[in-house]
Structure 1
């Protein structure tokens, strides 16, 4: 694969893609996009992703926008059915968590971090409550499974990891979620794991 990833280092969405590239040992040129200067809204970038969002993956003439779509593409391109199972029920379990990553996790831990790190105009109390609601669901399910979609890590775990692990930056404590903390440790122990930079905000200030 000849890959280029358009990235923003503090974006959990970007980190999903960087993390998975590292986990599967795929080389990619990383191009950081200067959001402060509006590079993501330039005509050249909008031609790759009309929503003006990072990350974007280029594989030759193929352009993939959306972090979860990038995970699916990379797993399929690399033939990694260990990360994206082919069996219907297993694939569905993975898809469920990709949807949660784009829904409840985006509205909860990710949005809470947007408030403290980027000054997003959201209601902190409601956002933190949403974060704790999905973290409780995760914790309950992880008491009976090492990973979100089964006994082995999949792209579901990659999609969920970044914003959950960095939830304290959005004033969302993980102290009450022992199974989630154990899951975070398992992800971070995987060969090829690469971290997202920590930010001294929220509970990590």
Structure 2
């Protein structure tokens, strides 16, 4: 397997993190975003949307970070990361949607302003980040992991949410008031095989 990624991309990090948590043998190739390598004809053959990350596995090409998490779970055969029962699978999917929705348009977008110079309404995206963090903090009051499936093991929902929540301070989103979120971040970081998301001196980390 080979993962095409960028070290400052949270979408890339969630795929890299999961590969390492599963201890799956793979190669990694950095895509030069500054040189628009993700828009090159060669890369567009892997992902027509020109987005990272992309995972190749033999003749299979899997684009989209959450799709990669699902693929790797099935590849590993470890159903603890994505349970098979309808209700449990739906609970995990709910939080994958949050990662692709509220987190992407909140904490992720706020970080894109400071790290990559994207033109978003700063007040709006920081407000969205805090709104989603308040919900997540309340959810984590009663359990260790985000999907409500009564399990002592994390799921791919935790992997999907981790990168942009952990890096939220780079987008001027203060995490200090979210006790349960911070405890959850520490639990993720204590997992065997954990790899850190590369930090930048931006926002509250400047």
TM-score range, shorter chain: over 0.9
What's 2:42 paired with? 44
Match of 2:173 in 1: 172
Q: TM-score, normalised by structure 1?
A: 0.98
Measure, in 2, the Cα distance between the counterparts of 1:27 and 1:191: 15
1:195 is aligned to: 196
Deviations 1:85-106 (A, max 9, x none): 1011111110000000000000
CA shift digits 1:173-204 (9 cap, x unpaired):
00110000000000000001001111000000
Q: Equivalent residues in 2 for 1:14-93 (5 A)?
A: 14-93=12-91
Give how far 1:155 is off: 0.2
Aligned counterpart, 2:185? 184
Task: Tell me by how many angstroms 1:78 deviates.
Answer: 1.1
In structure 1, runs of 5+ residues without a counterpart are: none
Separation in 2, partners of 1:197, 1:78 = 26
Instruction: State the shift of 1:145 in Å.
Output: 1.1
Deviates most, 150-159 or 167-176: 150-159
Once the two structures are TM-superposed, the CA of residue 27 in structure 1 deviates from its matched residue by: 1.4
Distance in 2 separating the partners of 1:79 and 1:30: 22
2:9: which partner in 1? Answer: 11
Pairing partner for 2:106 from 100, 105, 108: 108
Quote the Cα distance in structure 2 between the aligned partners of 1:41 and 1:134. Answer: 32
SS in structure 2 of the partner of residue 186 of structure 1: helix
RMSD: 0.6
**What secondary structure, in the 3-state scheme, does the structure 2 residue paired with 1:191 have?**
coil
Q: How far does the alpha carbon of each residue in 1:134-191 deviate from its partner, in whole angstroms, 9 at most, with x for none?
A: 0000000000110001432000000000000000000000011000000000000000
What is the CA distance between 1:112 and its match in structure 2? 0.2
- C-alpha separation in 2, matches of 1:145 and 1:105: 20
**Structure 2: 5+ residue stretches without partners:** none
Q: How many residues align?
A: 203
Q: Segments of 4+ in structure 1 off by > 3 A? A: none
